[in-house]
Structure 1
């Protein structure tokens, strides 16, 4: 199931029903990251409290933004003996197995102890026949085993289908977006001159340490791994910050994926410099969240919590690429290459969550490294096809299936076939390693960097990204909503609360304020739609307000009511206020100086009279067109 469509919630429902019915009495839920286990225990699996325990030797308390906390129940005592009285166990692969026999804690359970095992993110170790993780599943062969993944592993080295069989159920990203369960997205591809043309140092170019820079052409595979162009980092931070400012929401949750932890630290500082006003107000506005950064890890829960405003922008390398449930993430920034389709799908999944309470209904991907070319690959949203067909004497041994430290300090198995010239060890403060030897990064200052091209792509009705102007895209999308100008006008007249119509369009990924900024005129959404979709001549808000005044539509009202309506009309002309019948507007200037809300409403003979007068005013505003 595509990331964000509720694999863990679905697993809970299956387990809950089988457990309540007595069909499955002891269940094991396996994952490969602590954050996935902890998140599951306090969220989807919460109803199992009292019957549920974690296979770990370390106590853990989950802190929430509202000040409450939950202590996770442990299944191991101080002597590392397992308490078998629980019915639901959650465990980390790495915590219950290992190369030494003493580390194989799962063997303390009898082979028939569990009736059901659910394997989260099963595209990792359980897809590989001779991995250490598979031995856990082989130990409990009598249990029903269910694998969950958004990205099935089907390569010449590893296969989910070979072990689990064909998927019993699948649900694609395209389906999820079409059904409204997942957020649609747009892609902004940004091309920097140094990336496009490469960088060759001038003769005698010195680095920050005063050493001569090797004379060769450097490209995106080098940048921030072995060569750091500080001006490039600043340019990326500036572009990201400008996007947030132009969007009108500088508090939009944002994840910036960097090459390694050192790059993430530099990017954080560059973003702080670009947003000094907000970073001064709260030092958590920009945070680095990586495996070795305790301050950042302590804020991970707050970043994921929709109720917590901070952190807003986080920089990371790999920690946030999989599994974490960032429901309100509105912007994903890619400033590193992503060689693996599996990892790319997981990264995009950080933005696909819909969160209606905060009106997070679509998201943006900003790509500086060409990683979004994966969208054009049929494999991106296609059904898994089994590639590897194992023979009886043919063990699966991927060439690089070696346990590496994960970005959160846990062992992860990298995807075979990833085109990486440098293996990244996220726990290394320098960042890059090759053959186990730390790489020296060369820092070059003052060489400059500029954006040479920028392209925006939108998701069409078939789930494909298409490149076209924002105006053309909006025109097509609006015509899908309204078949003709008459159709729109009919809908407009029948809509009691005008703003609701535009909120509905924004939910479809059509925020009209961006188009309004492009046109550079004070048009309200009504004129924007008529002009963009149906080529009608637009009138500015001021022109519409002046038209109402010329027709003197307020003559039938008394002095106080007339003053209120004139002020409402000015409010519309100056600020584009659409919900003129909201009584709350009468509490602010200039209305607060005219009398109390009760007095002002009484001037219209009561609330029904006020609402009717406002409705007549709105009709007068749009009279010429409607």
Structure 2
């Protein structure tokens, strides 16, 4: 056997897997092959998107001590490579999984990288195939690396919950869960977990509580949220496996008959002592308290949540947040300590688990240049307008320019009509009054859409019973209506609107925390409903926060506020219901109808591969990526004509994020893949597929073939004109009409062309005629 001729899979099957099994690893429980870690980021250009498969990450082997506990990574290469050739790649995967043992092999031996070397041991070594470490050795190394004591082993190894769908946690969820469980095993009482919106914080929370509960480290747990919809969604979705031992706190009573309690903090506390029903149970009643969205103020001295935490001070307290940013009023780290694990928005997008975004920034003249009323001018209510300059911060808070609202609504509908009029959209407004005026303006701008569908746009705010009743329909992917929701604060957090494709910011946002929460409404991917990216339409320069280096930076310690600082945020008006912030009393609003407003600047930016916002069209992106593979037209033509299967080149471009079908939507569906590439990348004038087909027929190229072969090739040309190169390269094309009328595929290949080789050569010659170099200007 010549190893050099074997594929990588052969090397795995014949040498690497037997060596690992020979060391005592159970192939069914402890060895997993081709483990996908990340699916690869989504690239967005224009209204098109595709995954960058070149950045997909999967490990050839992941070794587990128990099914939920990875301890090592093994990277395989074929025998044309050296033993350690895959080590750098494998170390990247070990870093993702946070395991100390990394191996590489080409089938001759193993190269090893040990992050916990003993005294006098080298970090990197090589050893024969029959010397691979047994499971106990790598488990002990893992325990040392993670600081796990022998006494904690039973708790750390408590299994996850697996439902009937066999849904498994993603790698970062596994790491987050394990880090929290390990911290608890070490006796840590306050734990902070930072995970970007859309990464499955509630599912992660469920698995943490489940494992601790099953291990009997926790008997009773309280999950605290600040919105009814969060509690209700959790009850029927992620926490459902708890079944009869779980209940939502209602009627201001904590029922000791249950073990898992879900509660709005407003339902168990309040400004008066009689409202503080959490004191009706003993301080040791709960063994664990999880504070969802703890950035909302739970860690401040004067927070209502802080009082609950102090009362149950002996319980394990887990803070969950998507926004690690420390502020004047909220210092999560000062209370909980450093996060045990952080999974950021940027990392989620880079991995391909979160949707990337593009930003449409629109500047309106009255916002940018300000507006000063003429002396003595009166508003729509007949009152004189104060003589000063009104700027962007005043718009829709103090100064209401009806023409501006109309302009914004018109621009939103312009985008939707140009892309998808039924794309789920959230418009964030300054307050409830602004949300209602925006709803009316959208109705007028939508025209027939709003006439045909009265619920096309709904105001979903805390004071609107009708609007809140439609919230479930808005977040339901299978429900078309409402399409557009206008709101103020109600939808800023916790609403799981997976299919939201457009977020409109016509609201002044000064808080990084609020900004991240708003943007979090769009970060979820929903492949089933074709939600791969989302758009932010910004009228108030809120996305200037994207430029902040702390957008994805590490938290900065801010000490807890002093006694004179105001609590943030204020308590909702209705303790058991969701509501927007009060609009404030004593603020006079000025309504003016006769002042026009105009757009003075508009630009589109995309989330780039380096995590920054770039301005680039889909054409520019495609051109750059093609040039990375084929620096010149001659190089591309040489490769194209030398390839027996053009599909290979098409798949290569797809790995760079170029989907030619998407490009055809922009350039023209009548052009084939070859002409799209030559036109976009090398400025060649394109020919349609039909033009190329007619050129071949004019050259009377078929005369050397018999009558039946000419009929097949003529039909093949027509197939190319209608469907493209990929259809005629697919052997199954011979099962379609009109070929099926000419005989079976085997009859056509063997009797008409004299065998498979002759048939393939005929197709190759046909392609050469189609893409004759003389056709390239």
Common topology (TM > 0.5): yes
Q: Distance in 2 between matches of 1:93 and 1:491?
A: 68
Aligned pair partner of 1:605 in 730, 739, 743:
743
Q: Which residue of 2 aligns with 1:516?
A: 667
* 120-129 vs 199-208, greater mean Cα deviation: 199-208
Quote how far apart the aligned CAs of 1:153 are. 5.1
Q: Name the structure 2 match of 1:399.
A: 566
Is the Cα–Cα contact under 8 Å of residues 130 and 395 in structure 1 kept in the other structure? no
Query: Judging changes above 3 Å, is the alpha-carbon distance between structure 1 residues 616 and 163 closer, same or farther for their aligned structure 2 residues?
Result: same
Partners in 2 of 1:329 and 1:153 — Cα distance?
25
- Is 2:452 the partner of 1:304? no
In the alignment, which residue of structure 2 is the partner of 1:316? 487
Q: 1:117-136 alignment to 2 at 5 Å? A: 117-136=289-308
Q: Give how far 1:213 is off.
A: 3.2
1:195·1:219 contact (CA, 8 Å) conserved in 2? yes
Unaligned runs of 5+ in 1: 58-79, 413-424, 586-596
Per-residue deviation, 1:204: 4.9
For residue 282 of structure 2, the aligned residue among 110, 115, 120 is 110
Matched, 1:97 2:279: no
Structure 2 stretches of 5 or more lacking a match? 1-194, 750-758
Instruction: Go from structure 1 to structure 2 and tell me whether the alpha carbon gap of 1:181 and 1:615 turns closer, same or farther (over 3 Å shift).
Output: farther
After TM superposition, the structure 1 = structure 2 runs for residues 27-426 of structure 1, keeping only pairs within 5 Å, are 27-57=221-251, 81-152=253-324, 154-247=326-419, 249-388=420-559, 395=562, 397-401=564-568, 403-405=570-572, 426=580
Please state how far the C-alpha of 1:83 moved relative to its aligned partner. Answer: 2.4
Partners of 1:562 and 1:227 lie apart in 2 by: 71
Separation of aligned partners in 2, 1:54 and 1:4: 24
- Of 444-453 and 496-505, deviating more is 496-505
Residue 466 of structure 1 is matched in structure 2 by 614
Deviation at 1:604, TM superposition (A): 4.3
Kindly indicate whether the alpha-carbon contact (under 8 Å) linking 1:330 and 1:362 is maintained by their aligned counterparts in 2: yes
Deviation at 1:170, TM superposition (A): 0.1
The equivalent position to 1:531 in structure 2, one of 652, 669, 679, is 679
Q: Residues 20 and 481 of structure 1: is their aligned pair in 2 closer, same or farther, counting only changes over 3 Å?
A: farther
In 1, the alpha carbon distance for the partners of 2:529 and 2:326 equals: 37
Specify the SS of the correspondent of 1:295.
helix
Contact 2:646 2:725 in 1 (8 A): no
Change (3 A) 1:19 1:466: same
> Which position in structure 2 is the counterpart of 1:24?
218
* Partner SS state of residue 527, structure 1: helix
SS of match in other structure, 1:112: coil
SS at match of 2:458: strand
Q: Which moved more, 1:470-479 or 1:213-222?
A: 470-479
Aligned residue number for residue 7 of structure 1: 201
Give the conservation status (yes or no) of the 8 Å contact 1:157–1:396.
no
Relative to the length of structure 2, the TM-score reads 0.65
The question of whether the paired residues in 1 share the 8 Å contact of 2:354 and 2:525 is answered with yes
Measured at CA, do residues 581 and 162 of structure 1 come closer, stay the same or move farther in structure 2, by a change above 3 Å?
A: same
Q: Equivalent residue of 1:148, what SS?
A: strand
What's the CA shift for 1:210? Answer: 3.8
Partners in 1 of 2:287 and 2:315 — Cα distance?
4
Q: Which moved more, 1:458-467 or 1:372-381?
A: 458-467
More displaced 10-residue stretch of structure 1: 340-349 or 11-20:
11-20
After superposition, what is the alpha-carbon deviation per residue over 1:360-405, rounded to whole angstroms, capped at 9, x for unaligned? Answer: 11111111111100001112111112121x5xxx855523546243
Would the alpha carbon gap of residues 449 and 512 (structure 1) be closer, same or farther in structure 2, given more than 3 Å must change? farther
For residues 458 and 395 of structure 1, the distance between their equivalents in structure 2, rounded to whole angstroms, comes to: 41
Aligned counterparts of 1:331 and 1:492: Cα–Cα separation in 2:
42
Structure with greater helix share of residues:
2
Q: 1:142 to 1:621 in 2, by over 3 A?
A: farther
Question: How far apart, in 2, do the equivalents of 1:105 and 1:530 lie?
Answer: 71
Q: Residue 503 and residue 209 in structure 1: after superposition, are their counterparts in 2 closer, same or farther (change >3 A)?
A: farther
Q: CA 1:401 to 1:176, structure 2 compared with 1: closer, same or farther past 3 Å?
A: closer
Q: Secondary structure at the match of 2:525?
A: coil
Q: Could you state the TM-score of these two structures normalised by the residue count of structure 1?
A: 0.79
Deviation at 1:202, TM superposition (A): 3.7
Task: Rate the CA distance shift 1:212–1:559 in 2: closer, same or farther, 3 A.
Answer: farther
**May I ask how many residue pairs the two structures share in their alignment?**
564
Deviates more, 1:485-494 or 1:135-144: 485-494
Q: State the match for 2:30 in structure 1.
A: none
Between the aligned partners of 2:650 and 2:451, the Cα distance in structure 1 is: 35
Question: Is the contact made by 1:505 and 1:511 (CA closer than 8 Å) also made in structure 2?
Answer: no
1:298-349 deviation digits (Å, cap 9, x = unpaired): 1111211222222212111111111211111111111111111100111111
Counterpart CA distance in 2 for 1:49 and 1:508 is 45
* CA separation of 1:621 and 1:174: change in aligned 2, threshold 3 A: farther
Q: Is the CA contact 2:664–2:676 (under 8 Å) kept in the aligned structure 1?
A: no
Match of 1:65 in 2: none
The structural deviation recorded for 1:567 is 6.5
